[in-house]
Each structure stands twice: as C-alpha cells, then as structure tokens.
Chains A and B, each alone.
Chain A
Amino acid sequence: MVEGLLILSCLIPALHFADGTASPILASGLFTFNVGLLLLVRFHRAKRPTDRRVAYLLVVTMWLVMPLFGTLPFLSTGVLHTFADALFESTSGITSTGATVFSAVEWLPSSILLWRSMTQWFGGFGIVLLVLALVPSLGINKYSLYTAEASGADNTGKQATSMTATVRQTLGIYLLLTAVFVVALWKNGMHVWDAVNITFTNISSGGFSIYNNSLERLTHTQQYIVALAMLLSGINFAMLYNFFTFHWDRLQNKLEQFFFYISIYLVAAIFVVFALRFNMGFDWGDSLRCGIVQTISVLTTTGSLAADTQNWWVPITFLFVVLSLCGGMAGSTTGGLKAMRVLILIRNVRKILRDKLHPQAVNPVRLNRKPVAPSIITNVMVIFLVYAIAIFLGIMLLMLSGINATESIGAVIACITGYGPGLGLSGGFGCYAGFTVAAKLICSFLMVLGRLECLTVIILFFPSFWRR
C-alpha cells in the first residue's frame, strides 16, 4: 500500500492544472498539489510494487482517490453543495463516463467547465496508460483483467519494450489527436475555448459538454468532426501509434477486433438512420447525421448527444444500451466489455458447436489467425459474468433506493460502461440530479467498477485478499 501511494502521488500533481482563475480553485489545486507532494516526499524511498496484491490495491486506490480530490473544485467554488453530487460529478469525469448532475451547464464558471473537461481528458489518458503501460510493467497481467490486451494472445499490446517509452508514445498520440481536433474544430468556425473543451471530452470518450444541449449546438460539419474524434478514440492506441508511424505490418494482430468494431458500428448506424427516418419522422439529413454521430457516441461510450435521445423510439434506446455494453476496442479510452471480448465470447460459442459436430477435431478459438489461450478465454468469460452480475446487483440496489425499473437499468448500464446518459429522466439532455444520495453513490461506485473492468475492484472484497 505504501508503495502504491508512490505512483498515486505522481498522478495527483496533475490535478494542479485545475485552472487558477478563481481563488477557490487555486486553493483546491494547491491543496491537492501539496498533498501529492507530501506523499511523494514521504514515500519517495518506497520500493516499486512487487506484490500482486499491492498492484491491485494501487490501481483501485488511484481511481478512488483521484475522484475524491476532484470534488474539491466543485465544493470550494460552491457550484455543488452536497458531497454526493460532487463525488458523482468528479467520478464521472475521472472515469470519463459523462453522467452529470447539472441540468444546465452554461451558467457554470468557465474554470469549472474546463475542470470537468480536463478530468475526462486525464481520465481517458489514465486508462489507456493503465492498460498499455502500467499493468504490463507491474507484472499483474498474467491472471489479471487486462489480459485481453496486455498479455497472452496479444503480446503486442505493448508497443515498446519499456514502460517509459510506452507512456511517451501513448501520450504523443493522445496529444497529437487532441491538437488535430482542436485545430479542426477551430478552423470550422468554433471558438478555441469551446474547441478545446469539446475535444477534451470527446477524444477521451467522456461526454461532458459545455452546452446544455451537447452537440446539437454545433454545426453539422463540426458534429461530423467530433464523430470522427469519437471513432478514433474507440481504437486501440497501440494500433493508432503503429498506424501513424507507418508500422502497418504490426496492425495485423488487431485487425479482427478493428473490423468487428467498425462493422458493429456500421450495422447499428444503418439501423438507427432508418429507424429515425421512418419511425420518428426525421428528414434524411437529420436522420443521417444523428444516426452517424449518436451511434458512434454510444458505441465508444462517449455520451455526447447529437439530439435529445430521451424520447427516441424505444428499440433505438435499447440498441444503444446493448451497444454501450459492447464498447470500443481494448486499449482505447472507451468503456464497456470491449470488442475483443465480445468477439471471443461469440467465437467460443462457435467452437463449442464445432466440438459437437466434429468431436475428434481440434477446434481452437482463433483471433487474428492465432489460437487464443484457454486462460484468456476463461478470463473473458469471468469478466463477462462478473460484469453481468454487477449490472444486475446495481439495478437491484437502485430499484431499492426508489428509482423505477427503466431508469435503474439505464443508469446502471450508462455508469458501468461509461456512456453517461441513462434512460428516462437521466437520459438525453436530462441529468442525474433527481437521484437520491444513495443512488448517486452507487452510480459513482459502478463507474469505477466498470472503468477498472470489475475484477480488480471486486477482488478487494474477498477476505482472502487481505489475509497474509
């Protein structure tokens, strides 16, 4: 645990960037910075974590402590009055979920808006870093949760041999993408300030907005640009890196996931476009735009809205729920189960049918033409099952806290996948303000749970974890 705080403290100063326009923010920024510094000084001699348990604890602590400190700007400026609200908003930012308790955001001070966008931007980068750099270097990949990306079938998840190199490359790609999209939006007639905020929240598949009506305010071209940003944010960063550095031969080992991700997107988008056109009476232009932008927003679990989806045709909203569960590629900023896992789940069913048909044949589950190790298949299965159970328990708890069935389902899935807007009042341009304190805390927990892919968090609840 002591060692865990070392890396934790390295991340905390990042919070210092919390825009110093208002003195409360400066104060909270300084406070966080000092705490971070204090921890760093206090523990800078600590050894690098070697114990598996410490590694798990470290990861969870990071994602619990960062939202805690993230509440400071909200509370100190007085835009949110209760701790539960602030925690919800802050967790939603750090986990790049995008669920909000603000029914309107345009009255907020710009520093707070930037802070919200920023938490998402850091959160999005954090998860990519965790999966691509930190986990492999901590050596918890073998039986851990990020196996899908970090080991086994997919050794190339790590582009570089050393952790620092990976961090540098990932950061490079992330900064590059951010810069490109800020410029693109700015060139297309958006104010730089808005462009920065919107890029921050969409490249990280977060989904906070600085407008009450999210993307609807933007021009059509700008919306398509944002859609492209979301599409890219759903792609594995190692893949993006290899693509931009012309190492195209290395793309092969993730090609199937990529095509799966794209084909899900296309099929769903086509359905949504037609449903909008023929069931909801949008004209062709609108249905095409809303279909394209909204579907990618859902699939990458971003949660930016091209229109108020609250009262959309029920099958579309249901499809959205399913899509957000699927999510983008592993090693990207998106949430959900991830394309690779879904692919393995489907192929495993096929394998079992083949086993029945040809009992003598060897029928491995293949991904990118390589057989997938059984340990990875089980890992995927366990994550799937735990995910399902977590969703179920979440819905149960929310219903017990007095929220109706539709909204519970929507909120739980929106939070655990990191999509953001739920169903009913919390969906569309609505917000989570109507939730009870208990419900908000449950949702915040679910966001962290979903972001860390369940197992890391749940293992802490096993008594055997704490036993020596």
Chain B
Amino acid sequence: MSAKFHKRPLTELNPYQQLGLRKFNFKLIARLTGMMLVYMAISLALPLAVSFYSRDGAQFAIAFSAALILMLGLFLRNIVGRNAEYELKEDESYWVTLTVWLAIPFCGTLPYLLTGGLASFTDTVFESFSGFTTTGSSVVPYPEELPESLLVYRALTQWVGGLGLMLFVVAILRKLNASASQIYEAEFSGTQQRKLHPRLARSVTRMWAIYSLITLIMFIGLILTGTRFVDALCLAFSTVSTGGFVTHSGGVSILSGGSMVVVTLFMFLSGINVAILYRFFTLRWRHLARNEELRTYTLIFLISCLLCAIAFQAVGNDLLTSLHYSLFHIASTMSTCGFYIPKPPHWSFAVSVLTFLLIIVGASAGSTGGGIKLRRILILMKYVGNYFTRMMHPNAVFRVKVNDKPVENDYINKIFAFVFLYIAFIVGGAFVLTLCGCSIPDAICMAAANISNLGPSPLINNLGGNLDYTLLPNLAKWTLTLLMLAGRLELFALVAIFSPSYWRRGY
C-alpha cells in the first residue's frame, strides 16, 4: 500500500524511518508513563500507612518500592520525556495504552518481590497483572498469611486498574484534550459510549468521582455490617473494580450475612456502566428506565438467577441454599468479579454451562467488568435476527438500533471481528494451556475466565470449586497473563502491535 506513495530519499528521514519503522512520539509516551508511575508511587502511601498501623513488617519493602517507582517515574517524566510535544497520532494512542499497561503492572511487582510473599518472579507478574487487569486470579492460596499491607496493596491495584489506568492520564492531562479522546477510545470504549460531559477531561473526572463514591459507600456498608477494617477496605476495592481478590482463603464466606448482601449488591452494581450509575446518583432516573443495556443486564441477571436456582433445586438442594448461592454466583459471574462461596452440596452441570456463557458475555460496556460486553452482544443478536428475516426478504432494509439510535454497519462489522478475535484468543490460549498439561475443558474455561477478567473460575477443577493457579507451570501463567491483558485492552490494542503493517513506515 505504502509503496504506491512517493517516497522521500533515505537521507531526509530520521533514524526510525531509515530502518523502515514509523516515527513514534516516544517522548510523550515516556512522559505519560512516568507520570503514571509517580501517581502509582503516591498511591502506595495507603498500604504504607496500613503497614505502619498494623506493624506487619512490610513497611520497609513497601517504602522502598515506592521510592524506586517514584524515581523511575520522575526519570521518565522529567528527563526522558522532557519537552515532549503534546500531540498523538490516531494510532499512537494504542502505544500509550500498551506502554502504560505494561509499565505499571511490571513496576507493580516490586512490593511483592521485596516482601518476598510470592514464590517466583513469574508468580509476582501473574499476581500483579491479575490485579491491574481486575482479573483476580491468584497464585496465593492463603492470602491471610500475607502482610495486611500487601493485601491492601493487592486490592488497590485492582481498584486503580478497574476504571482503567488511562483514565487517570486523561483526567490528569487536560492539555491533551484532542489526543486524550483517542486514548479514551483505545482504553475504554470500542463500545461507542456517550461521554458524560462535552469536555472529556471533565467527564473522566466525574467517572472517577462516582467510582470513588461507590467504593466509599460500600466500605461504610461493610464496616456497618461488622467487617474488619482491612477486610472491608480490600473488599470494597476489589468488588467495585470487579476484581475479585480476597483477603482470606475462605473467600468472602467468612463475612457476616449482612456483609454478604452488601457484596452481592455492589457486585451487581459494578457490572453496570459507570455513566448510568452517574445518572443514578445525580437522580436522573428517567434515563435509567430507557436504557436498553441496563434493562438487558437486569433481565439476564434475573433470568439466570432463576434458572440457576431451579437447576440447584432440581438436583436436590434446599430452596434457601439454592437461592442464596444463585444470587451470589450470578452477580459474581456477570460482573466478572469472580468471588466464590462454598458450593451447595449437590452441583448441577446446567449451572456450569450457564456460568461459562455469562463469563463470555461479561458485564455492561463502560463498566469495570470484562467479557465481550453486553452491548456488543445485544447488537449482534439483533443483527443476526434481522439477518434471518433478510434471508427471506432480500430487498428489505433493516437497521439495528440500540436505545433507539441506529448502529452503523461498519461498527457491527467491527464487533463481529472482535468476537472472532475473542474466540480465537480463547482457543489459542487454551491450546497453550493444553501443552502445559491441562485437560481440554479446563483449558478452555481457564482461558475464558482470564480473558474475561473473571479470575477464579467456578468451572475449573472438575467443574466446580476454585482452582489453585499456583500449580500451573510458568508457561501457563505467562499465557494467562497475556490473556488478561488482551481482555482488558479489548484485543485490538494488543493485536495491532503485533501486526506488521503497524510497524512499517507510513506515507
């Protein structure tokens, strides 16, 4: 393609171009990454405070890693990224996204490494990525043995990753206004979200505000229902971000009944588009009833709960257990939180399959959850339905509408491609997992659970029970790490980097 364009003589080109590579705005990328690292170092103050408060012996490790990250951040921001031009090309936004998403989780391994709580480097990377991508797969079988500050740090990574690291960038960098919207898109949409405010920076600030508010409410709710301070803090972080890290090997079942209700409720809420939650809290409820995605989300939730409860009843559990488990399980799966509680005495395969379906579908677009996203599924289903009608009436014209707004065909094509890629990633990931000795259903479930950022899959391990990711070989852990990242970045950002045309010198 590019060959057809007039090429400038080689001497006029800069070093990248001479190599046949494109020129990137590395300075800006470095500067943004550096800024993120600085903010990350600052956020480590919270676990540090917890550490000093509870005297768990991790003070030094956390302080030291904070210092290291701070130094690296300042170096990137002020030295490498000095005089950066605040301008990004369309496709460079992918690079910003990817760089930040690699730099932060890798630096995030430092606290784990320095406290020595995890066995190997691979484990720390896995845990760190699982945190920032809000997956919640863990290689720590007994979290209660970790220092409390590290637990808080783990949950904090999820909270920060939840709304998307890049939204930080966007919120911070008002200068970037035009370029920022590209980052916003690369990171957060692909789902055609409406912004909350004409000015992007402001709408992002609003999203963070609402996110923090929900976290705070949940935290208070947990404290009021009798949860310990640290547990409440961690759970609030990892629920609202649909992460799924727990503070105890017993999972959330160690909580009081009231706290369980709080957790279930907030799991459900965190699977909803943040923009909708914003309208909810600003008392604009008119919009809520009209929102198609929210309606679908609620409907699927209720139907799944019902099916799940019936299935458990059918295999001989008592009504209360079935209902209780169904509500919790479905909320946890749909929002891709991935919390688990002890299974009812009799397991039903119908639930396993239902769970798998929900994992793939995932939460609403614009929420902190993962998966293909309900909005995309909704559009696809409508489109396929139309397609069959069109097979009989080839001349009829149909338009897929969501919330009474027509969806463009280009966009539908993009969704199809997305779903294809999604399945391809699951299949590819599962293949590598089978190389590592997993059985085929285990491999598929694990790949799906991690690409959808669910975490501990209730399907794995003989279809029921939470799997110990600890036992996997390193190759499997790295594969799952990659899948988590791919799922969090909604595939295209990652695939783009690996496509040759992306590297070639443009016109």
Chain A, residue nearest B419 (CB)? A385
> In residues 120-155 of chain A, which contact B (Cβ within 8 Å)?
142-144
Note all chain A residues with C-beta closer than 8 A to B90.
Answer: 356-357, 359
Closest chain B residue to A379, Cβ basis: B387
Contacts of B431 in A (CB 8 A): 315, 318-319, 322
| B196 partner residues in chain A, CB cutoff 8 A | none
User: Which of A358, A361, A388, A462 lies in contact with B423, CB distance below 8 A?
Assistant: A388
Would B413 and A385 count as touching, CB distance under 8 A?
A: no
Query: Is A353 touching B391 in the complex (CB atoms < 8 A)?
Result: no
Residue in A317, A348, A455, A462 whose beta carbon sits within 8 Å of that of B416 in the complex = A348
| Residue B440 is within 8 A (CB to CB) of chain A in the complex | yes
* A322-B427, A392-B357 as given contacts; A459 in contact with B391, CB under 8 Å: yes
Within 8 A of A (CB), among B438-487: 438-441, 443-444, 463
Which of B1, B350, B421 is the one whose CB lies under 8 Å from A400?
B350
Chain B 403-438 against A: per-residue CB contact (8 Å), 1 yes, 0 no?
Answer: 000000100111011011101000100110011011
| Contact A318:B417 (CB < 8 A) given known A455-B388, A459-B391 | no
Q: Is the CB of B392 within 8 A of A405?
A: no
Residues B416 and A385 in contact, CB atoms below 8 Å apart = yes
B392 touches A381 (CB 8 A): no
* Residues 156 to 215 of chain B near chain A (Cβ within 8 Å): none
> A376-411: which residues lie under 8 A (CB-CB) from chain B?
377-378, 381-382, 384-386, 388, 392, 395-396, 399-400, 405-406, 409-410
Q: Report the separation of the CA atoms of residues A318 and B495 in the bound assembly, to the nearest whole angstrom.
A: 23
Q: Which of A348, A353, A374, A377 has the most CB of B within 10 A?
A: A353
> What residues of chain B lie closer than 8 Å to A464, measured between beta carbons?
388-389, 392
13 of the cross-chain contacts (CB-CB < 8 Å) are: A318-B434, A349-B420, A352-B417, A353-B499, A353-B501, A356-B496, A357-B90, A357-B502, A378-B416, A385-B419, A406-B440, A455-B391, A465-B392
Sorting the interface of chain B by its residue count into under 10, 10 to 19, 20 to 34 or 35 or more gives 35 or more
- Chain B residues whose CB sits within 8 angstroms of the CB of A250 once the complex forms: none
CA distance A119 to B388 in the complex (A): 31
A409 contacts B417, C-beta separation under 8 Å: no
Given known A385-B419, A405-B463, contact A314–B440 (CB-CB < 8 A):
yes
> Is A220's beta carbon under 8 Å from chain B?
no
From A358, A399, A405, residue with most partner B Cβ within 10 Å: A405
CB contact list, A141-177 vs B, under 8 A: 142-144
Known: A143-B394, A357-B91, A399-B349. Contact between A348 and B357, CB under 8 A? no
User: Which 10 pairs of residues, A with B, have the shortest CB-CB distance?
Assistant: A405-B441, A381-B416, A396-B353, A315-B434, A314-B434, A318-B434, A399-B349, A143-B394, A143-B391, A315-B435
Tell whether A353 pairs with B384 under 8 Å between CB atoms, given A392-B357, A409-B441, A465-B392: no
Query: Which residues of chain B come closer than 8 Å to A348, judged between CB atoms?
Result: 413, 416-417, 420
- What is the bound-complex CA distance between A459 and B409, given in angstroms? 22
A318–B441 Cα distance when bound, in Å, is 10
In the assembled complex, the CB of B252 is this many whole angstroms from the nearest CB of chain A, namely 27
The complex places the Cα of A453 from the Cα of B389 at a distance, in Å, of 17
| A272 contacts the other chain (CB 8 A) | no
Q: CB of B269 within 8 A of chain A?
A: no
Interface hits, B134-169 → A, CB 8 Å? none
Q: Taking CB as reference atom, which chain A residue is nearest B394?
A: A143
Asked if A350 is at the interface (CB within 8 A of a chain B CB), the reply is yes
B352 at interface (Cβ–Cβ under 8 A)?
yes
User: Cβ of A345 < 8 Å from any Cβ of B?
Assistant: yes
> Taking chain B's interface residues, is the majority helix, strand, or loop, or is none over half, making it mixed?
helix
A contact residues around B434 at 8 Å (CB): 314-315, 318
- Additional 15 contacts, C-beta under 8 A, given A52-B391, A352-B417, A399-B352: A56-B391, A322-B427, A350-B501, A352-B492, A356-B90, A356-B496, A378-B416, A384-B416, A385-B384, A399-B349, A399-B353, A405-B441, A405-B463, A410-B440, A455-B391
**CB-CB nearest in chain A for B357:** A392
- Set of chain B residues within 8 Å of A465, measured between Cβ atoms: 388, 392
Instruction: Provide the residues of chain B in CB contact with A410, threshold 8 Å.
Output: 440
B250 interface hit (Cβ, 8 Å)? no
Interface centre among B94, B392, B463, B499 (most CB of A within 10 A): B392
* A-side contacts of B357, CB under 8 Å: 392, 396
Is the CB of B506 closer than 8 A to any CB of chain A?
yes
CA A396 to CA B352, docked complex, whole Å: 9
Contacts of B343 in A (CB 8 A): none
Instruction: Using A361-B1, A385-B380, A405-B463 as known contacts, say yes or no to A318 and B430 having CB atoms under 8 A apart.
Output: yes
A70–B416 alpha-carbon span in the complex (Å): 39
Q: Give the distance in Å from the alpha carbon of A396 to the alpha carbon of B355 in the complex.
A: 11
Contact string against A for B residues 340-355, beta-carbon threshold 8 Å, 1 for contact and 0 otherwise: 0000000001101100
B483, chain A: closest CB distance, angstroms: 16
- B441 and A458 contact, CB distance less than 8 A: no
Which residues of chain B are near A25, meaning CB under 8 Å?
Answer: none
Judged by a CB distance under 8 angstroms, whether B290 is at the interface is no
| A154-B420 Cα distance, complex, nearest whole Å | 23
Cβ of A277 under 8 Å from chain B: no
Task: Please report the C-alpha to C-alpha distance between residue A462 and residue B384 in the assembled complex, in whole angstroms.
Answer: 12
**Among B350, B384, B409, B506: residue with most chain A CB under 10 A:** B384
Inside 8 A of B82's CB, which chain A residues have their CB? none
Question: A321 at interface (Cβ–Cβ under 8 A)?
Answer: yes
- A317: B residues at CB distance < 8 A: 440
* B390 contacts chain A at the CB level, 8 A cutoff: yes
Please measure, in the bound complex, the distance between the C-alpha atom of A44 and the C-alpha atom of B352, giving whole angstroms.
Answer: 52
User: A143, A357, A359, A458 — which one has the most chain B CB atoms within 10 A of its CB?
Assistant: A357
How many Å lie between the Cα of A319 and that of B430 in the bound state?
A: 10
Given contacts A352-B414, A400-B349, A405-B441, contact A459 B430 (CB under 8 A): no
The reply on A66 being an interface residue by CB < 8 A is no
Contact flag A459-B392 (CB < 8 Å), given A315-B435, A374-B413:
yes
Given A357-B502, A358-B506, A396-B353, verify A349-B387 contact (CB < 8 Å).
no
CB distance from B305 to the nearest CB of A (A): 18
The answer to whether B349 touches A52 (Cβ under 8 A) is: no
- In the complex, residue of chain A having the shortest beta-carbon distance to the beta carbon of B94: A356
**CB interface residues, B 484-500, toward A, < 8 Å:** 492, 495-496, 499
Contact mask for chain A residues 307-330; partner B; CB cutoff 8 A; 1 contact, 0 none: 000000011011101100000000
